[in-house]
């Protein structure tokens, strides 16, 4: 497992990853903003609005929202996304930039919120062919959290009976059929993003690919 990091360090990583994504988004064309992402049926602009929403809602508002959605997470997410989506991509980006340094979150599971921005940033970058790899310390922290529990994604369940080994860092987890690759590819596969299984090797890859959800959020 990756070494534990403090909550202060995790928030610094979150802010850095948001800033890096905002930099990438600044160069997008209108067509690219409408590009299908790896996140279910959402296009790039919708994923960005979702990230803004996640950084704008605390515990009390989140509870009210999920109750108001009758505990339907998809309905909750759609409502909050619509709230943060601008009249056009420029306004959507402005709203995202405004929360880059936010420490607002629905819970104290800070590694999960780091995972939120790391995973959704790649949901955007991969279909657009944008090459940027998050800091190894950031993806290592997310990998350790994902391997340890199901939270926002069913990551621990996805790797049951598998042995994960990172080729670019110290992350290792589980026992069973081997899955090897970069830490980023491992966390994206744990988050249900099947295209990242193409970046992995080992006899456990077909098992992990089968468990990936095509509509992961």
pLDDT for residue 41: 87
Maximum CA extent, the chain? 49
216 pLDDT exceeds 70?
A: no
Taking only the tens place, the pLDDT of each residue in 98-107 is 999 999 999 9
- For residue 173, what are the β-bridge partners? 164
2 pLDDT exceeds 70?
A: no
Please state, rounded to an integer, the average pLDDT across all residues of the chain: 92
92 pLDDT exceeds 80?
A: yes
Strand 162-166, strand 172-173: pairing: antiparallel
Residue 152 in 3-state DSSP?
A: coil
The whole model's pTM is what?
Answer: 0.92
* 190 against 80, higher pLDDT: 190
pLDDT for residue 6: 93
pLDDT for residue 63: 74
- For residue 181, what are the β-bridge partners? 166
**What is the percentage of the chain residues whose pLDDT exceeds 70?**
95
pLDDT for residue 1: 42
* 75 against 23, higher pLDDT: 23
46 pLDDT exceeds 80?
A: yes
pLDDT for residue 69: 66
Query: In the structure, what pLDDT confidence band is assigned to residue 80 with cuts at 50, 70 and 90?
Result: confident
Q: What is the mean pLDDT of residues 112-137?
A: 96
Q: What is the mean pLDDT of residues 159-181?
A: 97
Q: Please report, for residues 18, 20, 122, 128, 139, the alpha-carbon distance to residue 91 in angstroms, rounded to integers and kept in the order given.
A: 16, 18, 21, 20, 29
pLDDT for residue 104: 96
- For residue 179, what are the β-bridge partners? 164
* 4 against 174, higher pLDDT: 174
CA dihedral of residues 127, 89, 138, 59 (deg, nearest 10): -120
Q: What is the mean pLDDT of residues 148-164?
A: 95
């Amino acid at each position: 497992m990756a070494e534990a990091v403090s909550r202060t360090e995790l928030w610094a990583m979150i802010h850095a990853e948001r800033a890096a994504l905002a930099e990438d988004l600044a160069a997008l064309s209108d067509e690219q903003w409408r590009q299908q992402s790896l996140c279910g049926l959402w296009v790039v602009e919708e994923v960005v609005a979702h990230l803004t929403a996640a950084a704008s809602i605390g515990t009390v508002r989140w509870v009210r929202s999920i109750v108001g959605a009758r505990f339907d997470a998809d309905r909750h997410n759609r409502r909050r996304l619509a709230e943060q989506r601008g009249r056009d991509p420029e306004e959507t980006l402005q709203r995202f930039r405004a929360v880059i340094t936010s420490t607002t979150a629905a819970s104290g599971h800070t590694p999960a919120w780091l995972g939120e921005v790391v995973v959704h940033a790649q949901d955007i970058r991969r279909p657009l062919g944008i090459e940027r790899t998050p800091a190894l310390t950031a993806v290592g922290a997310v990998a350790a959290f994902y391997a340890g529990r199901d939270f926002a994604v069913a990551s621990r369940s996805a790797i049951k009976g598998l042995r994960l080994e990172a080729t670019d860092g110290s992350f290792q987890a589980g026992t069973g059929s081997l899955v090897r690759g970069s830490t980023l590819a491992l966390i994206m596969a744990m988050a249900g993003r099947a295209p990242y299984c193409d970046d992995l090797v080992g006899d456990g890859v077909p098992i992990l690919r089968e468990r990936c959800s095509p509509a992961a959020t």
